[in-house]
Structure 1
Amino acid sequence: MEAVGENRYALLMAARDSDYVTKVYGGYFNVFLDAFADEGETWDMFSVVDGVFPEMDEIHKYNGFVISGSPYDAYGNDPWVLKLCSLLQKLDSMGKKVLGVCFGHQVLCRALGGKVERACGGWDLGLREVSMVEDLPPHGFFDGLQEIPSSLTIIECHQDEVREVPMGAKVIAFSDQTGVEMFMLDHHILGIQGHPEYTKDILCSIIDRLANSNSIKKEFAELVKSRLEIAEPDRKFWLKICKNFLKSP
């Protein structure tokens, strides 16, 4: 179902464009537009990582908000991270739809009272099979989808994780590496640890950057990339879930 009003959405960008994404996609904003936007909608980007935020008297105009991934720590005390937490608390109090992806998932959790830390298992890079909980609570944003599979594969790229969800939130997906792959709070907050918006080539460029900066070992990088060559994420299904969530009443 279409959102009411002007169908206006905001992307809260917590990362800066890489050379690769700029060259191939024209920036991460276009990656998110390709993934989540439909014809007739207006999408605005706010580079929160650079301190650019929507005005408080403007946020009521938006039907929904998306928080991107980021190389920064969601539990850090950078001024823009703290300001983002305050904004997310405000959006929650207004009942606005907010979708958090990777860092966005983590900072959303932190802002609303949960706990985020460095992951016990280290880097999670590549394709990960994510399992849905058996007793899925009723979700309006799953309406219209065919039967929800018990597991879905998603692209992962993180070294932090949600340890505790906010009070009242429900964990709705997990994996053998990460206990909270997906959580929801009421019907307006959704966090996803993986990257529904990523394509495999974007992930490969990130893996190369991490290896070249010695953030990960070259052998690990090559192993992850070799696995990517023989498998595909369930990207279409993840995008349906995200779009249904953002645009359902």
Structure 2
Amino acid sequence: MKIAAGTLPEKRYALFLAARDSDYVKKVYGGYFNVFLSAFAEEGERWDLFRVVDGEFPEMKELHKYDGFVLSGSPYDAYGNDLWIHKLCFFLQTLYHMEKKVLGICFGHQVLCRALGGRVGKSITGWDIGLRKVRIVKDCLLNDLVGAEYAAEAPLPPNSLAIIECHQDEVWEVPSGAEIIAFSEKTGVEMFTFGDHIMGIQGHPEYTKDILCNLIDRLLGNGCIERGLAEDAKLALEISEPDRKCWERICRNFLKGRS
């Protein structure tokens, strides 16, 4: 998909989609690609879709043409041995050495850590589903992440942001040289950076509440989660809101080199 370009040179981004579209997301949003475009894309950009879960990757010789890459969540384990996951790790290592901007979301956050030398696995405390307060390590860092202009216009909560979560795996150890920049009472590594071109976020800045509610229903129907957990997660969504605008701003600033 191409967003109408203005007078500035066109920037080009790629989404590595590691999950297949649910029937709900296809019906309501036209697919996860559109969900990510709504959250992260801006005027004058070209975004390409690669369904890596189905073995679809760009040509290696084309990687230099991209300004940044986003890697989505997935129902697969980031520590799994599926062929496409091994190939994805190789691509991520290549992009790291090319110093390309790479943003990993949920599974993407975890597999980035794996590819670059960190450790990931099952959370010993089980599923994290619903809204979660993520604590940024320093107040000043949050201002840097969202940008000074946005911080001046919209009062920010003190070093914490609410985000939608849906995962049972987590990062156990970040790669050597990476920096943990956010954590929560449930998960020790909610965000990390590696240099100025790698960022991982455990939660889902792109998710809307209705997408998560539908996912909760599917997980409950498949016997993956218990009814009590599903009901608690939905209740939290009814009474609270994720800080979606802040998260979208953080992701856009990172991808566009504004932070």
Instruction: Output the TM-score relative to the length of structure 2.
Output: 0.91
Pair 1:9-2:17 in alignment: no
| Aligned residues of 1:155 and 1:194 also touching (Cα < 8 A) | yes
Task: Provide the residue aligned with 2:109 in structure 1.
Answer: 105
Higher helix share: 2
**Alpha carbons of structure 1 residues 59 and 219: separation in structure 2 relative to 1, 3 Å:** same
Kindly state the Cα deviation for residue 95 of structure 1 after the two structures are TM-superposed. Answer: 0.2
- Post-superposition CA distance 1:132-171 (Å, at most 9, x none): 1138779975543417641000000000000100010000
| Aligned residues of 2:139 and 2:159 also touching (Cα < 8 A) | no
Task: Provide the residue aligned with 2:151 in structure 1.
Answer: 146
Task: Provide the residue aligned with 1:202 in structure 2.
Answer: 211
Q: 2:165 aligns with which of 156, 180, 184?
A: 156
**Aligned partner of 1:167: which letter?**
S
Q: Find the aligned partners of 1:8 and 1:199 in 2 and give their Cα distance.
A: 25
| Aligned residues of 1:70 and 1:103 also touching (Cα < 8 A) | yes
Kindly state the Cα deviation for residue 239 of structure 1 after the two structures are TM-superposed. Answer: 0.3
- Post-superposition CA distance 1:199-243 (Å, at most 9, x none): 000000000000000101122212211121110000000000000
Pair 1:57-2:61 in alignment: yes
**Which 10-residue stretch deviates more, 95-104 or 131-140?**
131-140
What are the equivalent positions in structure 2 for 1:226-241 lying under 5 Å apart? 226-241=235-250
Q: Find the aligned partners of 1:226 and 1:111 in 2 and give their Cα distance.
A: 36
| Aligned residues of 1:141 and 1:248 also touching (Cα < 8 A) | no
SS in 2 for 1:229: helix
**Aligned partner of 1:221: which letter?**
A
Task: Provide the residue aligned with 1:73 in structure 2.
Answer: 77
What are the equivalent positions in structure 2 for 1:86-105 lying under 5 Å apart? 86-105=90-109
Q: Find the aligned partners of 2:48 and 2:165 in 1 and give their Cα distance.
A: 25
Pair 1:211-2:211 in alignment: no
| Aligned residues of 1:140 and 1:245 also touching (Cα < 8 A) | no
List, as ranges, runs of 4+ consecutive aligned residues in structure 1 with deviation greater than 4 Å: 135-142
Task: Provide the residue aligned with 2:232 in structure 1.
Answer: 223
| Structure 1 residue ranges without an equivalent (≥5) | none
Q: Find the aligned partners of 1:138 and 1:229 in 2 and give their Cα distance.
A: 26
- Post-superposition CA distance 1:104-131 (Å, at most 9, x none): 0000010000000100110000000000
Q: Find the aligned partners of 1:134 and 1:31 in 2 and give their Cα distance.
A: 30
Kindly state the Cα deviation for residue 50 of structure 1 after the two structures are TM-superposed. Answer: 0.1
SS in 1 for 2:95: helix
**Which 10-residue stretch deviates more, 105-114 or 216-225?**
216-225
Q: Find the aligned partners of 2:110 and 2:143 in 1 and give their Cα distance.
A: 21
| Structure 2 residue ranges without an equivalent (≥5) | 1-7
Aligned length: 246
Higher relative CO (Cα under 8 Å, sequence separation at least 6) belongs to 1
- Post-superposition CA distance 1:157-190 (Å, at most 9, x none): 0000001000100000000000000000000000
**Aligned partner of 1:85: which letter?**
C
Task: Provide the residue aligned with 2:4 in structure 1.
Answer: none
Identity over aligned pairs, percent: 65
**Aligned partner of 2:67: which letter?**
N
Instruction: Output the TM-score relative to the length of structure 1.
Output: 0.95
Q: Find the aligned partners of 1:247 and 1:154 in 2 and give their Cα distance.
A: 21
